[in-house]
Structure 1
């Protein structure tokens, strides 16, 4: 966290919008979160509305004037959307371009063509991890599940032996690695360095995805030994592509594997290069560092990937200018709800800070022996279990623990983001849309889904959290 942001945080703590004491603020936090949980779980209200109402409830229970609570919420909403909204939009466009051009199919086909029987689970986790970098989790599931079903059917594999590695790769990328919405929001909330967080996120992701994917799939396949459901196989028409992607089959030529891979990894490489140059040179006035600070900024890195993707993915697929324009428009449409949820979460975070809750957590935690990273993980776990939303858990936990980052180094601030992300994935169950998505696609019962998907998510959360704590002792 920069010195300027620390001073701003301190200024917020000096003049909160309420004079409530720690006890009242604690009750206000619990009440605000309870309102959000109740509205989402009991009344099935959209997360955007639940977060908005919960923020106002928090302010009311904390004794803040309504106009100031509203001002805090709208300020947080605006700054969050300004900080991460464009990045989410660019990521959605890149993902749509990758899917519709056939680039994702090219990566899947190329890797599967080189994989043998025993290496198939490892091939699936590699495919999911690469595809999962630019794609939202739900999009990745829709893209890969038909492939998983066909591989399991043709290779006579247990569905879980192939499916769990694919789900693990997608889930780990979604929870830990920018530019996914959760990590981006947490980075913005605690003012972490995106490049450093990305590098450490990949480092944490590797052992996590190995343990939760190919290794755990051995046990999952024994616990739930089911074949690929015939009803889902028939719905794909015998093709490893979803109905939404059928137009890509009509294309004259798919993008090359190398060009597709370069396009996907371009923003990652640019952001990592910026982080490396900042560490090696460490001179803000240096021309080389200033250049990398620009090209490695998230906005420029993702924008560059989208522009490059138009030529490396769209043109080889035969897309006209009009088709590319329509693709961009279609790519942006589904993320409206995500942007609203992320923005409302930012408003909730700002209401927490302006009410003095952040400073309260900072004051109380000084007397605790629990490490800040573990505290962040536990808070995210609690909210995840209650709401079923990894994004809501990430946003809320980041707002609560943001003050703890004030005295942290750059690497430990990045690890704080990853601890929150790890906690937000803990034990997906019946209040999570992802739970039902996996259940229906794989044709499982509720109990079977818990034994496989829910346990896998818990392993991801615990392993990633453990690796984060281990790294905090080393670096």
Structure 2
């Protein structure tokens, strides 16, 4: 019944948005109330559950999302995004620009959370699409697929890191093997599938769209823009800070040395929120003060970035409210009971449980961490299983079938100006391919290592 009620909630949401054309945020809140009642959440707890889900989601990404949007807008309004875009176009050419996007997204995505990397890259992707006069979807989908794979498979992302520790897998080995799996998976899900989808749905990929979440983009002559090196350095500065923090954290866990003042400082600046704040201050200097642009003008750019994000933030928060209702309604517990006493391969079990939890609950991180508790007892019964592959299988399952209870689904939809139907046919399928193909490569590796 919990899975049936979840399905009813998803169908009702689609009817409200696509059939009655109701505002997406309002629809998510209504459905959250209805599903909570169906799942038996006490009426006096429903409002607090919705509030905690909305607040928890925005509390996790609100600061990063808001400051990341400001950082992206400062770089864009100063012409830095234009310089990066034109350099990539000239270097790779129009025919290979998707590969350039995948390469850049992979580098950025190894360290940055999905939401942070998405917000930082989208202005550059939009600028490239505008210069080439192509739909942002042609470049946005490869970017999204790459970020999804790196977020799901690779440490230091929270799900992969935490579950590797729970299973007792070596984090460094998880990172190396994860990269080997992520690269071909991204090629299939992020390059090949969008090309197939474009042939099946040419209208979706050929329309240039007005995207309110990005806001109005300025036009620049190339000689008016900042240099390529300083533009890239400013854009990836959060990546640099978080990479240093993640590297020190991994070394500390491996070697086991104690904290000291330097280590604490590195952890502090390597935190996602701190890194974005520092990077925003850097952008104010490199993109503004150093180029004699008034502070007032830069603050106007920051304000416009936040103004464009208002409804998107509410929609993402609404998705978080729906997710929280499902968790408190016992959907995850119900799925756990389905697999009690299971004797299937730990790799397949980890993937299956994570995939079901992901579909039901929406959060890849929640699915990953919840799966660990179910799989660990089985690992003790199968000592010869490869813990690295079990970790990666859990990550692969955690990106299965992104849909309306996943914040990333709404980010992709709103930032790329797609309809619900188009988002299901593109990003939901891409996430499913990433999950299944990732599992396939894991099973192949299991034959040899």
Aligned to 1:246: 218
Which of 139, 142, 149 is matched with 1:169 structurally?
A: 142
Which is worse superposed, 341-350 or 96-105? 341-350
Q: How does 1:199-210 map to 2 (within 5 A)?
A: 206-210=183-187
* CA distance in structure 2 between the partners assigned to 1:265 and 1:169 by the alignment: 19
Closer, same or farther: CA 285–128 of 1 in aligned 2, 3 Å: closer
Q: Is the 8 A contact 2:88 2:100 kept in 1?
A: yes
Measure, in 2, the Cα distance between the counterparts of 1:394 and 1:201: 22
Residues 137 and 171, structure 1, Cα contact 8 Å, conserved in 2: no
TM-score of the superposed pair, with normalisation by structure 1: 0.66
The residue number in structure 2 matching 1:308 is: 282
State which of 371, 374, 379 in structure 2 corresponds to 1:404: 371
Q: Give the alignment partner of residue 251 of structure 2, picking from 274, 280, 284.
A: 280
- Consecutive unaligned residues in structure 2, runs of 5 or more: 110-116, 165-170, 377-386
In the other structure, the counterpart of 2:380 is none
- CA pair 124-86 structure 1, distance change in 2 beyond 3 A: closer
Match of residue 300, structure 2, among 301, 326, 344: 326
Q: In the alignment, does 2:407 pair up with 1:423? A: no
1:135 and 2:95 correspond: no
CA distance in 2, matches of 1:363, 1:177: 30
For the 8 Å contact 2:82–2:124, the answer to whether it is kept is: no
C-alpha contact (below 8 Å) 1:31/1:61 kept by paired residues: no
1:466 counterpart = 2:437: yes
For 2:195 and 2:324, how far apart are their aligned partners in 1? 44
> How far apart are 1:50 and its partner, in Å?
1.9
Tell whether the 8 Å contact from 2:242 to 2:272 is kept in structure 1 after alignment. Answer: yes
Match of 2:58 in 1: 81
RMSD (CA atoms): 4.9
Question: In the superposition, relative to structure 1, how do residues 127 and 49 fare at CA in structure 2: closer, same or farther (>3 Å)?
Answer: same
Alignment of 1:10-49 (within 5 A): 23=1, 25-49=2-26
Correspondence list, 1:236-385, <5 A: 244-249=216-221, 253-282=224-253, 283=256, 285-287=258-260, 288-366=262-340, 369=344, 371-377=349-355
Q: Is contact 1:128-1:144 (8 Å) kept?
A: no
Cα distance, 1:93 vs. partner?
0.9
Which digits, 9 at most, give the CA deviation of each residue in 1:296-333, with x for residues without a partner?
Answer: 11101111221111122233554210011111111111
Distance 1:114 1:138 in 2: 19
Residue pair 2:106, 2:150 contacting (<8 A) in 1 also: no
- The 3 A distance-change label for structure 1 pair 131 and 72 is closer
* 8 Å CA contact retained: 1:357, 1:400: no
Number of aligned residue pairs: 401
CA distance in 2, matches of 1:95, 1:284: 37
Q: Distance in 1 between matches of 2:74 and 2:43?
A: 44
Q: Cα distance, 1:272 vs. partner?
A: 2.7
Aligned match of 2:114: none
- Higher alpha-carbon deviation: 309-318 or 87-96: 309-318
Separation in structure 2 between the aligned mates of residue 438 and residue 36 of structure 1, nearest angstrom: 17
Measure the CA separation in 1 of the matches of 2:38 and 2:64: 34
* Distance change (3 Å), C-alpha of 1:273 and 1:84: same
**3-state SS, counterpart of residue 20 of structure 2:** coil
Structure 1 residue 223, shift from structure 2 partner: 7.9
| 1:460 positional shift | 6.2
- In structure 1, how many angstroms separate the alpha carbons of the residues matched to 2:231 and 2:137? 25
Whether the 8 Å CA contact 2:398–2:435 is kept in 1: the answer is no
Aligned to 1:286, the other structure's residue is in SS state coil
Is 1:101 aligned with 2:78?
yes
The SS at the match of 2:119 is coil
